[in-house]
Amino acid sequence: MVDETEREWNSMNLRNSMNLSDGEILLDYAQEIDCRIVTDSDDSAFNPKSVDGAENVSLESNAADLGSTFSSARSIIEARTPEEALSEREKKQLEKTKQIRVKYFRLLHRLGRSPEDFVASEVLCQLARLKHFISILLKKAAMELEAQRKDDLVIGKTGVGKSATINSIFGESKTAVNAFEPSTRVKEIIGKIDGVKVKVFDTPGLRNSLKDQPKNCKILSSVKKLMKKSPPDVILYVDRLDTQSDNVNDLPLLKLVTSYLGSSMWRKSILAFTHATSVPPDGPDGYPLSCEVFIAQQSEGVQQLIRELLGLNDDLMIPISLVENHPLAKKNENGETLLHNGESWRSNLLFLCYSIKTLSEVNIQNPLEQRKFVDLQIRSQLLTRPVFESHDWDRDIDYDGVLIEDKLEIAGCFPAVISVQLAKDKRECNFQLHSSFLTKREDHGTFGKNKKLSYILKGETKIRKNKAAAGVSINVNAGLNNKLSGKISIKTNCSDQLQIAAMAFLPIARAMFIKIFGQSSGDY
């Protein structure tokens, strides 16, 4: 099986236009997090070397400039190779991980995607982050590469196009669609897409009015039973792009859905917006909005609701897929319906589904060392968007400023988001830094307790008319699972004298980090 994989990869002809930045990111993860990059052995360039029984497989071939960096990475990794031999289980685990990676690469190839795609590289990074495991329950001993299966669950309001979307995904009319009558039962639809067996559960639509809540509850409880029987890999929440997102009206419905299906459903869900090629409405100036702005606003509305429901501030970003089921929409030469930007939405959606499935498989494998990572985002690293604000007296909705966001890593392992907001007249500027980290460790020592430690670091600097104000807040939560939990919260605030605040921050931060790192050594 392994040889077949190698051959396949060498013939895959990966482009060597991989950005240096992407390669660097992968390397950073490798160096700092002490993970094992599984590097490919190219017959011509390197000697295939196996480290303690694990095969080396690489992502890159024939890139001269990166080859040297890779070899240096390899030397670092080899230097860090643990003294003890890998246990049998660990080998199996690594094998399983590698198989998942291989499976993912095959899927990528089938869909015509390259590993440099942002989502793909995120998934690969997550796979690359896995460390040694201590004890894992292996779900299946062997995984057939060809017997890949995917289960989907499609839910949403009535009349938005769930059944039509399913028909479009399969490329043929698998289920009845009627413009005026809702589909009445939960249906199981099985088919093959590109050789992968896909099972989709179509559900009747949820009603919006409160009088219909009992019906909604019935529908949702039957969906829940279905989920217990055969848990879906991906949940598609379908809504229309072109109806006004009455956030207030949608909130009770989303609450109901979350309460029945569990808040973990949002970790493996995709927001699908139908009627995606509908022309955006006119903006306040009378001219139609641009598609990106329209899509961003509509999707952000729903995301905001879900975040509120789950009580998270900014960490959850549910992937979005645009769908167009109208028979008269523009198609490319393969017969796939295109969106406004020329992309085929179907392959996008399938790709997202496979990525989510891969990630969820990975998560099952390491329940112990859980890290809260930033979920998949389909945007570039540097995000720039305008900020709208309406002024009551003007009756004009004008853009108020620009917001730039970027992700970075503090001290190499804590994810953080930094954002800069600049007001239109450049009189006001906000810098914000948000970073959070959660780790859960299990000690098999005398205590046998679960320790939970998390920290949230927030910093904000506001500069207005050359005056500066700054604030920093750190929350540290330490908890033991028999309800002995503590919370330390530190806030400093200062205006005009940034130096004082900074000085106060340093010793506190130092003490905190020592405490955190002290506990990480695990000498209890």
- What residues line the site for other proteins (CB under 8 A)? 158-159, 164, 177-180, 182, 205, 207-212, 242-246, 248-249, 251-253, 279-284, 286-289, 294, 297-298, 301, 325-328, 390, 395, 397
- 311 or 327: CB nearest other proteins: 327
Question: Are 447 and 524 a contacting pair, CB within 8 Å?
Answer: yes
The token pair at 445 is: 């020592």
Write out the DSSP string of 325-353. Answer: --TTS-B-TTS-BB-TTS-BHHHHHHHHH
Alpha carbon distances (Å) from 76 to 42, 43, 68: 19, 22, 12
The token pair at 142 is: 């062997």
Shortest distance, position 209 Cβ to other proteins, whole Å: 4
Shortest distance, position 314 Cβ to other proteins, whole Å: 20
Instruction: Find, among 12, 84, 75, the residue nearest to 49 by Cα.
Output: 75
Shortest distance, position 382 Cβ to other proteins, whole Å: 25
Could you give the count of Cα atoms lying within 13 Å of 168 in the half-sphere of its Cβ? 28
Shortest distance, position 249 Cβ to other proteins, whole Å: 6
Chain centroid, CA 396 distance in Å: 36
Shortest distance, position 226 Cβ to other proteins, whole Å: 23
Shortest distance, position 169 Cβ to other proteins, whole Å: 17
Question: Are 124 and 102 a contacting pair, CB within 8 Å?
Answer: no
Shortest distance, position 388 Cβ to other proteins, whole Å: 9
For the chain, what percentages of helix, strand and coil (3-state, to nearest 5) are there? 35, 25, 35
Instruction: Find, among 309, 285, 284, 281, the residue nearest to 295 by Cα.
Output: 281
DSSP 202: E
- 137 or 328: CB nearest other proteins: 328
Question: Are 38 and 98 a contacting pair, CB within 8 Å?
Answer: yes
Write out the DSSP string of 136-151. Answer: ---S-S---SS--EEE
Distance, CA of 55 to CA of 41 (rounded, Å): 9
* Burial profile 400-411: b = 16 or more Cβ within 10 angstroms, e = fewer: bbebebeeeeee
- 78 or 246: CB nearest other proteins: 246
- 15 or 391: CB nearest other proteins: 391
Shortest distance, position 264 Cβ to other proteins, whole Å: 25
Distance, CA of 317 to CA of 307 (rounded, Å): 9
Distance, CA of 372 to CA of 450 (rounded, Å): 17
The token pair at 164 is: 């039509």
Shortest distance, position 300 Cβ to other proteins, whole Å: 9
The token pair at 86 is: 């890998």
- 205 or 232: CB nearest other proteins: 205
- 130 or 323: CB nearest other proteins: 323
- 137 or 210: CB nearest other proteins: 210
Shortest distance, position 442 Cβ to other proteins, whole Å: 44
Distance, CA of 66 to CA of 83 (rounded, Å): 28
- 236 or 295: CB nearest other proteins: 295
Q: Which residue has the tokens 């970003």?
A: 317
Instruction: Find, among 175, 158, 130, the residue nearest to 29 by Cα.
Output: 130
Shortest distance, position 131 Cβ to other proteins, whole Å: 44
Question: Are 437 and 416 a contacting pair, CB within 8 Å?
Answer: no
- 97 or 277: CB nearest other proteins: 277
Shortest distance, position 294 Cβ to other proteins, whole Å: 7
Alpha carbon distances (Å) from 376 to 15, 39, 121, 258: 23, 24, 10, 20
Q: Give me the amino acid identity at 438.
A: L
Instruction: Find, among 273, 271, 348, the residue nearest to 304 by Cα.
Output: 271
Shortest distance, position 205 Cβ to other proteins, whole Å: 8
- 57 or 291: CB nearest other proteins: 291
How do beta strands 269-274 and 320-322 pair?
A: parallel
Distance, CA of 206 to CA of 495 (rounded, Å): 51
